[in-house]
Structure 1
Amino acid sequence: MPKVISIINLKGGVGKTTITVALAEFLAIEHNKRVLVIDLDPQTNSTVALIGEDEWTKRNQNGQTLHALFKDHIDDTYTFEIESSIVRKTSNLHGGLDTLHLLPSSLDFVKIQDRLIHIWQTALIRPFDVLKNAVNQQLENYDIVLIDCPPNLGIVTQNGLNISDWYLIPTIPDHLSTYGIPQIISSVKNFNRKKSDGEVKLLGVIASMYRSNVNRHNLTLRSLESQVQQGLLPRLFETRIPLASKAADATYFDAEGINTLKQKYGNNGDYLYQSFQRLAEELQTYVQI
């Protein structure tokens, strides 16, 4: 069975999708891992970064996204098929990576958010079991599964947590971005009481969009390190993901002339590339893929 990791922060714009996609690509290319990205975020950023807008539009129209899965359980219909919905060759690197697969999201998720709580009435299952029931038999095909969660702790995020071994919290090292970390930890602990097959553990916090010359970033990192020493956090990843325009560019699927990780993530003496390279190595050390 794979190692399954949900990636969560209650605040948007903290580099969650960039880290998800970069980890997936580095693990697939440099470490020969079979990777599945599950995009649960209605913003669909990981989806578009891995397959582009044109392919996403086609799949969305054909009901080959996770929106169709959840809508089926609300409406008691049977349109979603897991086999045809998993995209089995993704990324703009090397013309697509055979070992990097995607279960895409949809902007239409927003339309059904308020109805998800009623799933138990129509489907007779717990609302947070929908994803688990759909993907359980597929997971054995992968070494690692990365779940890009929406910036909340609602039913969709709980579906990700329900199949996860760990969760990661990427954050900009400032007060506003780290403010919700205790709430995330508390909510996941409460959710663990509902799980029937083991708890989801916090793997750690990753500092993203980091600027070494910004005093508040360094002060926040020291505060997070203090929380690790106090046992409030299991770890703060040693790798810092720097603030770099190349990181945003890396999520643009239609970029031309991109064939290697260094071309895609190279910036300022390849510091961004080296940071993601170290992050992928550090992650494997902790989860023992």
Structure 2
Amino acid sequence: MSDEGKVISFINMKGGVGKTTLTINIANYLANKENKKILIIDLDPQFNATQALLLKQEKHKLSNNINKQDEDEVEFKAEVSSAKQYKKLSKNGKTAFQIFHRTVITKNTQKDIIYEFSENISFVPGDLELSSVIAGDTASKVGLIDQFIKINNLKEKFDFILIDCPPTWSILTHSALYASKYYLIPSKLDFYSSIGINSLQNKISEKLTNDCMYQETSRKLFNLGIVFSMTTNLQSEKRLRETVIKDYDTKIHVFDAEIPLIPSASSSFLFYSEVENNKTYSNLSNSFEKIMSEFISQITNYEEELDNE
């Protein structure tokens, strides 16, 4: 397998499918269990990944520095503190907006907008203002993420660069996929999410892989597959899963494991690793371990195929 950092976009044309949660947890797994250096680029104007990481960081600081406070108080103070931190980053221009705000990426962009979360995880904060860059003529912006990565040698500094994409096709998703070698599709098991997968595949073909200028670059974009999340094991879901496999299996890999729906999970913890020894969440932990095994296997197989070409 190549030592060069792998750029992977997490994308679906429908929101609410667990995209950000999967991105963050794959980053955490690779950083802590595989000892890899990870960069998350938050390109979703809703910046949920950024909010979650800043909140987690502030909660950690408070739990270490403040004694005898109940969880609600720590949560409230962490939210206030993380919101202030984000406001400061945005005001000082230290977000992903800077990538698209400029027509040329410089080396200074790296120190401006890459924020350290932990020893092995860094991230480029998202920004509500990213929604403004999708208007007007955006043709010149397609290569900006790729340019940002190259000029700052990020593939040499990070083992994986994970891009959390918005749930719509725009210059943000176009630029992310142009810079990517792989993409992963998080999805719920419902018909609307399946429509989102169809829409995504059509857009990728129309706007990217079948584009003559893209083809001239000799780039290749590999689909790692579909990961179903928030599953409930209902019979209707099982039938839909069978339909999806029948429709896509020869074209798109469908992960065997799924992320089960656990109502308390979204508010109780950010990383699945926080509850891996908790029997209440054993189903979640075990499923995610299987997903990660399959995720790494998919990349390894693609890399070996490329090496043998």
Q: What are the Cα deviations for residues 182-236 of structure 1, in whole angstroms up to 9, with x where unaligned? A: 2211211231224224121211111111111x2221111101221244x232x10
Question: Residue type matched to 1:221 in 2?
Answer: R
Q: Which residue of 2 aligns with 1:114?
A: 135
Runs of 4+ with deviation above 4 angstroms: 76-80, 264-267
Asked whether 1:186 is paired with 2:216, we answer no
Indicate which of 296, 302, 306 corresponds to 1:284. 296
CA distance in 1, matches of 2:8, 2:286: 22
Asked whether 1:65 is paired with 2:95, we answer yes
Q: Which stretches in structure 1 are left out of the alignment for 5+ residues?
A: 91-96, 121-125, 253-257
Q: What are the Cα deviations for residues 81-113 of structure 1, in whole angstroms up to 9, with x where unaligned? A: 22231112x1xxxxxx21111011101112333
Contact 2:93/2:112 (8 A) holds in 1: no
Q: CA deviation at 1:266?
A: 4.9
Cα distance change of structure 1 residues 275 and 23 upon mapping to structure 2, 3 Å threshold: same
SS of 2:280's equivalent? Answer: coil
Query: Structure 2 matches for 1:91-170, cutoff 5 A?
Result: 97-115=118-136, 117-118=137-138, 126-136=140-150, 137-170=153-186
Contact 2:105/2:147 (8 A) holds in 1: no
Contact 2:6/2:155 (8 A) holds in 1: no
User: Normalised by the size of structure 2, how large is the TM-score?
Assistant: 0.78
Q: What are the Cα deviations for residues 48-100 of structure 1, in whole angstroms up to 9, with x where unaligned? A: 11123333222111101111221233xx8989722231112x1xxxxxx2111
Contact 2:8/2:182 (8 A) holds in 1: yes
Aligned residues: 264
User: Normalised by the size of structure 1, how large is the TM-score?
Assistant: 0.83
Tell me how large the CA RMSD over aligned residues is: 2.5
Question: Residue type matched to 2:243 in 1?
Answer: S
Contact 1:64/1:80 (8 A) holds in 2: no
Q: Which residue of 2 aligns with 1:51?
A: 54
Query: Structure 2 matches for 1:153-232, cutoff 5 A?
Result: 153-190=169-206, 191-192=208-209, 193=211, 194-195=213-214, 196-212=217-233, 214-229=234-249, 231-232=250-251
Indicate which of 241, 254, 270 corresponds to 2:259. 241
CA distance in 2, matches of 1:105, 1:181: 24
Q: Which residue of 2 aligns with 1:33?
A: 36
SS of 1:14's equivalent? Answer: coil
Cα distance change of structure 1 residues 40 and 77 upon mapping to structure 2, 3 Å threshold: closer
Contact 1:262/1:273 (8 A) holds in 2: no
SS of 2:98's equivalent? Answer: helix
Contact 2:259/2:287 (8 A) holds in 1: yes
SS of 1:167's equivalent? Answer: strand
Q: Which residue of 2 aligns with 1:93?
A: none
Cα distance change of structure 1 residues 251 and 184 upon mapping to structure 2, 3 Å threshold: farther
Q: CA deviation at 1:20?
A: 0.5
Q: Which stretches in structure 2 are left out of the alignment for 5+ residues?
A: 56-81, 304-309
Cα distance change of structure 1 residues 269 and 45 upon mapping to structure 2, 3 Å threshold: closer
SS of 1:153's equivalent? Answer: coil
Structure exhibiting the larger radius of gyration computed from Cα positions: 2
CA distance in 2, matches of 1:173, 1:63: 38
Question: Residue type matched to 1:276 in 2?
Answer: F
